[in-house]
A and B are shown apart, each in its own frame.
Chain A
């Protein structure tokens, strides 16, 4: 079998796999937010930036190829990743202390993993709209990191087309494909993957919150670097061991 080399370790890959696919299959963690196995790669969060033969690329979109020498877990790359994470925090309104998703949030977990101790950059405090129109879902754009997992899940898995990103630059925001632009007038339901895939707390199930006690939340029990964690961290409501 062909292999690539990540941080000095040979990692096998099959034709068609990306560097991220191969790394996850081998249990090698490359930090990421916009990637999820089973959904087409997007390459937007740039957290998975690795150094391939001296060139910086996104591991989730770069095809694995024989002879690639990849640097991943290096102080320099992790420092860049930390800066990216800090920018994601300051661009939105991430109030972890009161957020239902705290302890289950991948952005927060990545922040801890990378040793992020503050936002570093000045806060943007953008004005973003909360859409609570849907009877069983709430969309809080304050927390959206534009990873487009919900956009892709809706199109590729749910067979719908509920979400998209609109606007430009710092005005970018999640939009809803309905006549009014409101979630209530879209065809999303709580059975959709798009309703549960958000890695932060931007899409939440309505009337529920804080039901998993501190100490039993996903990242109380697991590290974000556990590469087989995918299903757990992306499923809200109850923790898997309950």
Chain B
């Protein structure tokens, strides 16, 4: 925490084209050096509290309302926890594959939305280009083919979700120990129709990202962080989005832990609360509070995995790693590249699952003996997502803890903001283009702020008035205790 009495304050509010709302405050000293960067989360949700007392089987349906972008991830993470609550560790092959298919559809649409709709304007037009044009409408005008591919990719992912869950957003798919329907032949064939196009668009998206990175070496160091990485991997160390063990690596690729049973996640990860944000700061217990922060999401997953099970995505992964001479890629903007490799993996996996006989099977539900605790972890589009529930004897929720993907990237986003701010703002007049760089850095993480605000009982509120020249005119702060202070 810095003493900010003499610091000049720059606020970017709101941060646009992320899911939810956020605010950045830069604390500058008198020489215009960035002392500290804070990415504030100004929303509050409270799901962990208000699902207490609700019947456990409702939970996947409650918590999917955390978000309209990746509700399926919350639905599935909670469903995995609920499976454990009813004593089911292994679903039927049909139920498992339906959930995987649902999750691939989800990841495909979320990634496509983020890259094409939210981030491609920055990458195609330049970070400091005309704001009026630097949006999806501008992309449609200048790159209609690309924009259309993005829209159709997302649409396809949503169609996969709709077939399984009945609706594109907030559907009904899982039940305790299984799924409520399988695919019909007609539904499967309908999804197969566009599949070759989808595979083509996904390959194009990977190629575009490779080009952005190889042709713009100036982006190489943009918000770059030599960080730790956390993700789930399969039993052979392969990229795995639905179920596996946890793997954490240091920036140099050395292992912190591997194949860690996520049901003991609370031993590996702790959360810190800071007074100025609703979002908590998780860290790896082994490395401690200062050094234990890590990154999750596509960049972490593609760095951490040994290989990808589908051939086109694996080839893309090898080109990705070759970019860093076989080591980990630490460029923050490489999140986009990794994200598109995953889109390709999703498309290939959807094809494989649709052609799998089990996907139309009728054995959907497994039963078991009820337990008091359930933990479900999944690789959501934005990273590792933890859902942890304890129930009372009567089946109502006693305690819930969610560590949402964006939360894990909290410290990393602050570090990236500080890195970019120091590089682009220090000692210069602040221009809109320069400020946009900060948003680009945050946007690379695809933060979902609506999901990530969980610091219950801590409700800081800060209102800042910034003059035309950037000087702070007024600042009113409400502390967690409710005390209101004013500084000028």
Interface residues of chain A, those whose CB is within 8 Å of chain B, are 97-100, 130, 132-133, 138, 140, 204, 206-215
Contact = CB atoms under 8 A, between A and B. Distances in A.
Given A98-B65, A214-B171, A209 B58 contact: yes
A236 B180 CA distance: 15
Contact of B181 (A98, A100, A140, A213): A213
B165 interface: yes
Interface in B408-450: none
B395 interface: yes
B248 interface: no
B189 to A, nearest CB: 18
Contacts of B65: 97-98
10 contacts: A98-B65, A100-B57, A132-B55, A132-B392, A132-B395, A207-B86, A209-B57, A209-B175, A214-B171, A215-B166
Contacts of B174: 210
A99 B54 CA distance: 11
**Majority-rule SS of B interface residues:** loop
A100 B176 CA distance: 13
B94 to A, nearest CB: 14
B38 interface: no
Secondary structure type dominating chain A contacts: loop
B180 A210 contact: yes
A207 B57 CA distance: 6
B47 to A, nearest CB: 11
A126 to B, nearest CB: 15
Given A97-B65, A130-B54, A207-B57, A213 B166 contact: yes
A100 B174 CA distance: 12
B180 A208 contact: no
A209 B166 CA distance: 15
Contact of B55 (A138, A212, A214): A138
A206 B61 contact: no
Nearest to B164: A213
Contacts, number: 60
A75 B109 CA distance: 44
A208 B170 CA distance: 19
B61 A98 contact: yes
Interface of B: 53-55, 57-58, 61-62, 65, 86, 165-167, 170-176, 180-181, 392, 394-396
Nearest to B181: A213
B64 to A, nearest CB: 8
A132 B61 contact: no
Contact of B61 (A97, A211, A213): A97
B172 A213 contact: yes
A130 B180 contact: no
A206 B180 contact: no
Given A98-B65, A132-B394, A212 B180 contact: yes
Contact of B395 (A97, A138, A210): A138
A140 B394 CA distance: 13
B164 to A, nearest CB: 9
A207 B166 contact: no
A214 B394 contact: no
B166 A214 contact: yes
Given A213-B166, A214-B167, A206 B395 contact: yes
Nearest to B167: A214
A140 to B, nearest CB: 8
Contacts of A209: 55, 57-58, 61, 175-176
B54 A100 contact: no
Given A98-B58, A130-B54, A206-B55, A211 B175 contact: yes
A126 B270 CA distance: 36
A130 B86 CA distance: 21
Contacts of B394: 132-133
Contacts of A99: 58, 61
Which of A99, A100, A207, A212 has the most chain B CB atoms closer than 10 A to its own CB? A207
